Amino acid sequence: MSDPYLPYVLGAYGATALIVGGLLWISLAANARVRRELDAAEKERRQ
Amino acid sequence: MSIWRFANPAEFMRLTDRLLAPVWIAACGLLALGLSWSLLATPDDYQQGSTVKILFIHVPAAMLAINTYALMAVASLIGLVRRHQVSFLIAKAAAPIGAAFTAVALITGAVWGQPMWGTWWVWDARLTAVLIMFFFYLGYMALWEAIEDPYQASDLTAILCLVGVVFAFLARYAVNFWATLHQGASLSVAAGQRVDDAFRLPLYVMMAAFYVLFIALLLVRTRTEIRARRARRLREEAARATERLDAAPLPQGAAGA
């Protein structure tokens, strides 16, 4: 017998995965971008 | 050894550099254990059926939503009193994480409410307080983006954060003050055990997983903010040096060269 609540459970976990996954992606991408910017700025200062 | 030495950005970066990898490993391990336990090894509830599995993300997300705001408020207050820029940057770094977990709590609560309460949303005290707290998160982040000078932004965002504390407090305690459709605390030392062990133990694991994930994200985001602040300062110094060079008079004989 199919579970009538399955769409709700999948919806809740899916939305959570999207939001937390998006947050992870944004945080790690920003970290990598700022790291490159800082490396470039420090290299420029040394020259 | 004083805790305030970690308010030094270089010291903070040195300490967190060593912490990051173990914290990420712990977060991934706890999430894998918690998700597999809660989704695959817990029974359906005799009344709520399989929707009880939403408990394992809704409760940790709601706790983090409120506690992240509390952390931001404490960091903002320390920043205002002791003028530690790292405190402001910790609050700034925590805001998107808190907003994300507040969104998770609101969405999973609505998705849980529809089959159990018969409605996606009610304007009850707890839900409304959490929604207003979510708007405070958004306003706080918008204010940081809106102000050019980082030192002025630090002060003004800290004040806004402290104003919003009342809604974080209400989000936590509204169920004690008013009769709400939302139930009281699921986990309470005073009220005794209200959740069966079959659900309580995996819930603890998921709570630990969410908190460790929060710490990992907070460390990464704070390090990003510290680096961004330093990169900005270096760019400003370089721009000032260029301006000085441009303004300096040319040496004699160089004009015709």
Residue of B nearest to A8 (CA): B111
CB contact under 8 A, A31 and B221: yes
Q: d(Cα B135, Cα B153) in Å, to the nearest integer?
A: 18
Token pair 């009220």 is at which residue?
B191
pTM score, whole prediction: 0.90
Helix (H) or strand (E) holding B19: helix B9-40
At a CB cut-off of 8 Å and minimum separation 6, what does A43 contact? Answer: none
Query: Once rounded to an integer, what is the mean pLDDT over residues B97-119?
Result: 95
Q: Is the pLDDT of residue B134 over 60?
A: yes
Q: d(Cα B232, Cα B230) in Å, to the nearest integer?
A: 5
- CA distances from residue B202 to A21, B44, B59, B125, B224 in whole angstroms, order as listed: 22, 14, 12, 29, 33
Spell out which residues of chain A touch residue B111, defining contact as CB-CB under 8 Å. Answer: 8, 11-12, 15
Regarding predicted confidence, which is higher, B195 or B22? Answer: B22
Digit-coded pLDDT (tens) for B197-226: 888 899 999 999 999 999 999 999 999 999
- Confidence band for B257, pLDDT divided at 50, 70 and 90: very low
Digit-coded pLDDT (tens) for B146-178: 999 999 999 999 999 999 999 888 888 877 777
Prediction ipTM score: 0.92
- Residue B111 has its nearest CB partner, among A12, A22, A23, at A12
Q: Which of B2-16, B21-35, B104-118, B180-194 has the lowest mean pLDDT?
A: B180-194
Residue of B nearest to A34 (CA): B228
What pLDDT is recorded for position B180? 73
